[in-house]
Structure formats: C-alpha cells, structure tokens
Structure 1
Amino acid sequence: MTDTIAVLTGASRGLGAGLARGLLRKGTRLITLARRPDAELQSLAAQHGVELEQIEVDLSDLQAAGEVAERVCASLPRDAKRYLLINNAGTVEPVASAAKLTDGAAINAAFTLNVSAVILLTARFVAAVQDLAADRRVLNISSGAGRNPNAGWGVYCATKAALDMYTRVLKLEQGNSGVRTVSLAPGIVDTGMQETIRASDPENFPALAKFQEYHATGKLAAPADVAARILAYLDRDDFGNTEIDDIRNYN
C-alpha cells in the first residue's frame, strides 16, 4: 500500500523542484503539475523506487487548470495513509505601479495561476479525500507580500493576500477533523522568480535595489534548503493549528 500520495504544482524549477526531490521518499506516489517535465526528477524517482507521474499543464490557463484538477483528483487511489496537496506554482508578474496596471490579460493570468487554479485544484482534492480515514493536508505557498504591501507589486500582493484569506476560509470550513491547511510564506528564496524581480524596471519596482542587494550579499536562501524545511514543517503534528504562517518562524 502507498503510504503517501502527494500532488505538487510548479515542480519544474526553483522551490518546486526542491520540494519534488524532497518528496522522493519510499512509499510515496508523487504527481507533479508543471509547464514542462523534469527528466532528472524522473531518473531520481526511478532510483528511489518512487512512482512519479508528471503532468504538463499551464495552470495560468483557467480551463486547463480546471480540467487537470478534475482528472488528477478523480483518479487518486483511496487506500493511502496520507494525502498531500502542495500548491506551489505562482508568478510575480506583472510588476508595475498601480497606475500602469493596464494589461488585463497579464493580470488575469496572474490571478488564475496564483489564486483560481489553487481554488479549483483544492476543491477537487478536498472532495476526493473528504471521507477517507487518512491524514489529509493542503499547503499553499504564499508570501510575505500578501501581508505587507510592496510598491509595484499590486497584483502579486493582492493574489497572495487572497490566497491567505482563502486558506483561512478553508480551515474554518474543515474544522479540526477535516483537511488541515496552511498558507506558508517561504522567505526570500534564490529562484527564477527572484531573477524576474531583479530584472524589473526600477520605475515600476522601487524596492529593486534591496532585492539586488539580497542577491549580491548571499542573503537569498537555497531552494533545496528551504524545501527541506518546508517538508519538515509539513510533517509536523501541529500542522494546521496556525493557518497563516512563515517558515522563518522555525529553525
């Protein structure tokens, strides 16, 4: 019998790639949703004897997100001891001052990826595992940007704030006996998103120099290290007691 079934979004690079590798544990079946497959991950899974299914999907496409959510969750085995959903995929774009946020398609894509896809996938996941006698957990990768405003990040801050509130509602609905859920800020991680941030126009993102300094002085955390800490957090017995959290609160 499979001990753990884990569904992970945004698994092809950065923090998601670190989480995917950390989930390659004996007894785990890992399902990843990403824009591109990871050949190295497939090889590592074979070496660890882990069943891996990689699904190529653009979760910023609302129809595609809904279809893959339904398909993945409808096919989940029902005899595992633990079920995990890690909503990690996200984007910081578009980066612009409030007066310049006029690209409706970019705004819509960001909200779809950062919020709507999470809601769709979580809804299907919760429905699929609702009546199972198993440990069921949802981890939403949020950001301090959802709790503290940053000039130029009107869309990013808004999506992460929405994600935090959605998580609070889910916890309220599920209570203490249902699916446990947390919206977790991972800190400042050395990922492709940080590269995007550092390439921002300083007119659109006044805090640019601060983020460039983080990189230049080695203050960005390594994705693999943060992933390990997040997975340890996910394993905690008190997971879900605090639904809005930050990995930097833990050693």
Structure 2
Amino acid sequence: MSSSDLGRALCIITGASRGFGRAVAVQLSRLVKPGSVLVLTARSGDDLRALQEELSGSEAGKAGLKAVCVVTDLGQKEGPESIVKAAVEASSEEIEHIILINNAGSLGDVSRFTKDFTTMADVDSYLSFNFSSCLCLTAGILQKFPKRPGLKRTVVNVSSLCALQPFSSWVLYCSGKAARHMMFKVLAQEEPDLRVLNYSPGPLDTAMQEVARSVTGDSGLRKAFSDMFSEGKLLTCEESCAKMMKLLLEDKYTSGDQIDVYDRT
C-alpha cells in the first residue's frame, strides 16, 4: 500500500446501488490493486447488477477486480449476516486491506416533528435500518477479519452535519447520525489498530436531497434546501467522494474524527 493505492483490498460498500455509495464503488475500484474484491450491497438488485457489470467491464475489472452483489435489506436481521457471509466467501489470503464503507441510510419521515412520533414501531424500524444494522455489520466484519500482521483494517461511517447539529423536523435522521457518530468514536477508542473515519459528504445532488427540499416539515429548512438546489450549491457525489478517497489514501486523519467535505485537511 502507498499514497497512490489502497492495496489488495476487500471492500464492503453498503447502499452501493446509487448516489454516494455508487460513486464510492467506482472510485474505490480505481484505487485498489488487482486481485481486490468489492462486495456491493443494497436493496435494489437491478441497480447493483448494472454497477457490477460496469465495474467488470472497466480497466480495473479487466485487471482482476472482482465485484460481488448482495441484494439484502439491512433493516432485517439477516441483512448484516448475509453481507458478512459474502465478504468471508469472497476473501482470500492475499487480501491486505479490509475496507468497510457504512453508507446505507435513509432520511426517515422529515415531514413530522418530534412531538408527532408516538408510535414506537416507526422509530424502531428507522433505527434498525440506520443504526442497529450498521453496528451489527461492523461488529460482524471485525470478528471475521480480526487484527493480524500484514492486514490493515479501515471502517468508514458516512456521516452528516446532522450528527452534530439539530435540524428541526429531522429528529429521526439527526438522532440516527448522532448515534452512529458516537458508535464509531467508541470503536476507535476500543480498537487502536483500526482506522476509523466519520466522513460528512456535504449537501449532495441526490434523490434524498430532492425529498428534503420537497417534504421537510420545517418551512425555513425546506426553503434552505430548495435554495441550495436552485443556486447550484449542491455537490456531485463524485466531487465529495474524491475528497474521501484523498483522506483514505493520505491516511493522516485521527481515528474516530469526523471530517466534513469542506474541512481543510
């Protein structure tokens, strides 16, 4: 491994079928050595297989990159288990870098305010997908790929400014991101050999942002998102992803820290 590549890697990317996760898969494929494996996971099988086909036909694919699809719902118990199983099956003794990108997530119902959430099932469902599955998947991967000489392990949490600041009518999203943020800070403290990055990709031009500017309950926040879009202030997934790849390649960040796309590093 050097500052120009991420080594012969086993990369697990959740939410890989579109948006930021898809950009991560494409850019990672260009930075890993031949013999690397990308485990692509999402709920949308058609989109995943289209990405798999694209990667297989790329220069990296022709040079020996393997892409594996796992169509699963992380909100269900078997979701994390199926991903861990696929990662173990796809791995080999030649792998020198495990990279887990916890990208999958949902906005939740942003049309309602905190006082409107009286049904526990709604909250439990959101947290199962956005928090519990993330913790269980990360734990499962770390157990199956324990610390050993010659193996580097990197875990990325795709975070948000919402992990640190309250956004009115976004109680589920902010709470989920805050919980994940602290989860990975604890992990970094517990596992000193692990490289843990909380990365906030910024305001992206995605389907999630379209929902945000359409149905956000807080009118001021909804207008702010609409203005970002109309004024061309949204970032492309590729732009933000490039910053994250730079952080991973340089590997100078303090493990557990949150770094925003706009931070100077």
Corresponding residue for 1:199? 214
- Displacement of 1:94 in angstroms is 1.8
Instruction: Establish whether residue 47 from structure 1 lines up as the match of residue 47 from structure 2.
Output: no
Secondary structure at the residue paired with 1:117? helix
Q: Return the alpha-carbon distance in structure 2 between the equivalents of residues 229 and 106 of structure 1.
A: 35
Per-residue Cα deviation, 1:140-173 (whole angstroms, up to 9, x for no partner): 0011001000110111111111011101110110
Runs of 4+ in 1 over 6 A off after TM superposition: none
Q: Which segment drifts farther, 129-138 or 70-79? A: 70-79
After TM superposition, the structure 1 stretch with the greater mean CA deviation from structure 2, 190-199 or 123-132, is 123-132
Q: Distance in 1 between matches of 2:28 and 2:104?
A: 16
Residue 78 (structure 2) pairs with residue 64 (structure 1): yes
Taking every aligned residue pair, what percent have the same amino acid on both sides? 27
Question: In structure 1, what is the Cα distance between the partners aligned to 2:18 and 2:103?
Answer: 11
2:117 matched to 1:101?
yes
Task: Please state how far the C-alpha of 1:244 moved relative to its aligned partner.
Answer: 2.1
Which amino acid in 2 is paired with 1:225? E
Match for 1:6: what amino acid?
C
1:182 aligns with 197
Give the drift of 1:206.
Answer: 4.2
Report the equivalent of 1:154: 171
User: Structure 2 CA distance, aligned partners of 1:206 and 1:109?
Assistant: 28
Residue 151 of structure 1 aligns with an amino acid whose one-letter code is S
TM-score normalised by the chain length of structure 1: 0.91
Q: Which runs of 5+ in 2 are unaligned?
A: 1-6
Q: Partners of 2:134 and 2:250 in 1: how far apart?
A: 23
**Which region of structure 1 is more displaced relative to structure 2, 213-222 or 71-80?**
71-80
Counterpart CA distance in 2 for 1:113 and 1:231 is 25
Tell whether 2:230 aligns with 1:216.
yes
Secondary structure (helix, strand or coil) at the match of 2:12 reads strand
> Would you say 1:225 and 2:239 are equivalent positions?
yes
SS across alignment from 1:111:
helix
Query: 1:171 matched to which residue of 2?
Result: 188
Displacement of 1:110: 1.9
The CA RMSD over aligned residues, in Å, is 1.9
Contact 1:4 1:82 in 2 (8 A): yes
Q: Is the 8 A contact 1:97 1:205 kept in 2?
A: no
- State which of 93, 106, 111 in structure 1 corresponds to 2:127: 111
Between 1:218-227 and 1:23-32, the stretch displaced more is: 23-32
1:129 aligns with 2:134: no
Matched positions, count: 246
Q: What TM-score do you get using the length of structure 2 for normalisation?
A: 0.86
Correspondent of 2:21 among 9, 16, 22: 16
Given the superposition, is the C-alpha separation of residues 248 and 79 from structure 1 closer, same or farther in structure 2, using an over 3 Å criterion? same
Partner of 1:230, secondary structure, is helix
Q: Alpha-carbon deviation of 1:81?
A: 1.6
Residues 107, 173 of structure 2: 8 Å contact kept: yes
Deviation (angstroms), 1:105: 3.3
Paired amino acid for 1:162: A
